[in-house]
């Protein structure tokens, strides 16, 4: 019972928003970072892949927001 309560509480942000769908972008970032490291064994490459991945999703979000607003 306690485990179920803890699992549910981690899905709610301090603002009260439900974060169940918010894990997907973080999972993509982890996959990009891990695959880059596994392939090259270089932390700089994996950090670069992580940064490129973050900027891709930020840019995508901005472009969608602009398209919806206009």
Q: Write the secondary structure of the chain as one string of H (helix), E (strand) and C (coil).
A: CHHHHHHHHCCECCCCCECHHHHHHHHHHHHHHHHHHHHHCCHHHHHHHHHHHHHHHHHHHHHHHHHHHC
Euclidean distance between CA atoms 46 and 44, whole angstroms = 5
- Where are the domains positioned within the chain? 24-70
Encode pLDDT of 33-61 as tens digits: 788 889 999 999 988 888 888 899 899 99
Residue predicted with more confidence, 47 or 7: 47
**Mean pLDDT, residues 59-68 taken together:** 94
pLDDT band at residue 3 under the 50/70/90 scheme = very low
Q: Band the pLDDT of 67: cuts 50, 70, 90.
A: very high
């Amino acid at each position: 019972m306690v485990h179920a309560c803890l699992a549910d509480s981690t899905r709610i942000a301090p603002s009260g928003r439900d974060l169940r769908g918010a894990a997907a972008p973080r999972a993509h970032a982890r996959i990009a970072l891990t695959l880059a490291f596994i392939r090259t064994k270089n932390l700089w490459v994996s950090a670069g892949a992580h940064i490129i991945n973050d900027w891709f999703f930020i840019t995508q979000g901005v472009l969608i927001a602009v398209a919806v607003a206009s």
